[in-house]
Amino acid sequence: MAKKTAARIILVLGLLVLSQGIVSAQPTTPPPQTFSTTIYFDYTNSLSKGGPVTSAGKNSFFAFRRAYFTYENKINDNLKFRFRFDADNTANLTSVDIKTGSTKKDDKFRPFMKHLYLEYSGLLPNSIIRVGMTETIQFKIAEDRWGCRSVAKTLMDGYKDVTGVEVDAPSADLGASLTGSLAKYVRYGFMISSGNGYSHAENDKYKKLAAQIHLIPVAGLSVVGYLDYEKQDTDNSAYTYKIDGYLEMVKNLILGAEYFVYRNDKYLTLDKTRYAVSGFSVFGRYIVSPDVFALFARFDKNEPNNKIQEDETSLVIAGLDWAPFHKSMKLQPNIWYVTYANSEKKDDVIFNLTFFLSF
């Protein structure tokens, strides 16, 4: 009896080992559902005094600048769903004293919804359709080439942060987009959206229409043209036109340039004439060792009002991108040098030690 029991135990264990070997030998496929997190964390120290930036706030501090949490579900070969939370330190109204009418704010790290869309890639050849709260097509190509979003936003994305002037360029909006390629050297993008961005509900009947063409005449050289249009009300409209150029012919070296103009009928000078807002950016990134070490530099020229003299702002960014242990964790020391056409404004020099985490 004991021998039979022992034989049965050995047989069961053998079957378990065999089945495990068969399972492990099967080809593995990527999981249809993925979770990912990206975090930007800075230590900032002002190296100058008396400039518009360095005189306005703290001059030595730590801060979480951004934190993304993304869930994606690849439902089948053509259909995918994305949900992304973002978070920043924007002050929030937390309470109101009824007796005095006074309010209180705090700076807690607040989450908010950034992306919530379905993506379908089977309707047209070599195309992707996104519907919902999705990324805009305004500066995605520039951001990919710049490759240092953790250090600084691209020209249009960060224009308001630098100048205080709104150019209606949200990174995500509620609507639908179609992107794809007609041939190897011709790519396109179209989008219709609310025009209010991901942080505001749509409050009018007007929609923003955007179109983009990406031409690659030879390998390593590309030119991107972009145009958008949106009525502001029954009498006023606004539009943006933008052109980019990218050179990637030298191994591990990326050079880029952006130029844009934003016009809004509501932007008027004292004599009631319309003015334009514009900006120009050139940047370079050299990869010394892939996924380990890179150098980057950038120059921006910002024009908040072409009718006003000496209101331009220039920005130089330079730094290192170093992943000492793994590409998921980077140290990015960088310096921002801001100069002003107005001679009464002192220069700002700011050092940032940026920690980039992605896992």
Segment 168-219, tens digit of pLDDT = 999 999 999 999 999 889 999 999 999 988 888 888 899 999 999 999 999 9
Q: Please indicate, yes or no, if residue 299 is contained in any of the structural domains.
A: yes
Is residue 143 helix, strand or coil? helix
Average pLDDT over residues 8-15: 44
Long-range contacts of 210-219 (CB under 8 A, 24+ apart): 210/136, 210/137, 210/138, 212/137, 212/141, 212/188, 213/186, 213/187, 213/188, 213/189, 214/141, 214/186, 214/187, 214/188, 214/189, 215/185, 215/186, 215/187, 216/184, 216/185, 216/186, 216/187, 217/185, 219/249
Q: For the whole model, what pTM was predicted? A: 0.85
Report CA-CA distances (Å) from 98 to 91, 94, 95, 106, 215.
20, 13, 9, 18, 59
Q: Please indicate, yes or no, if residue 145 is contained in any of the structural domains.
A: yes
Nearest to 340 by CA among 306, 308, 302: 302
- Number of structural domains, the chain? 1
Nearest to 211 by CA among 238, 236, 239: 239
Average pLDDT over residues 45-67: 87
Nearest to 44 by CA among 315, 356, 350, 339: 350
CB atoms within 10 A of CB 120: 15
CB atoms within 10 A of CB 153: 19
pLDDT of residue 252: 96
User: Angle at CA 212, nearest 5°, toward 211 and 216?
Assistant: 160
- Looking at 71-229, list the stretches that DSSP marks H as alpha helix, in order from N- to C-terminal side: 140-146, 159-163
User: What is the CA 133 to chain-centroid distance, rounded?
Assistant: 14
Residue range(s) defining the domain that contains residue 298: 32-358
The percentage of residues in the chain with a pLDDT greater than 70, rounded to a whole number, is: 86
Question: What is the DSSP code (8-state) at residue 346?
Answer: P
Lowest mean pLDDT among 6-15, 124-133, 211-220, 251-260: 6-15
169 near 159, Cβ under 8 Å? yes
Q: Please indicate, yes or no, if residue 27 is contained in any of the structural domains.
A: no
Per-residue pLDDT band for 59 (boundaries 50, 70, 90) equals: confident
Q: Please indicate, yes or no, if residue 59 is contained in any of the structural domains.
A: yes
Strands 253-268 and 172-183 come out as: unpaired
pLDDT of residue 20: 46
User: Angle at CA 132, nearest 5°, toward 128 and 135?
Assistant: 65
Q: Which two tokens stand for residue 303?
A: 């024009």
CATH, residue 224: 2.40.160.10
Q: Please indicate, yes or no, if residue 215 is contained in any of the structural domains.
A: yes
User: Angle at CA 38, nearest 5°, toward 294 and 190?
Assistant: 90
Distance, in Å, from the CA atom of 309 to the CA atom of 341, rounded to the nearest integer, reads: 8
Q: Please indicate, yes or no, if residue 214 is contained in any of the structural domains.
A: yes
**Digit-coded pLDDT (tens) for 85-97:** 998 766 555 555 5
pLDDT of residue 18: 38
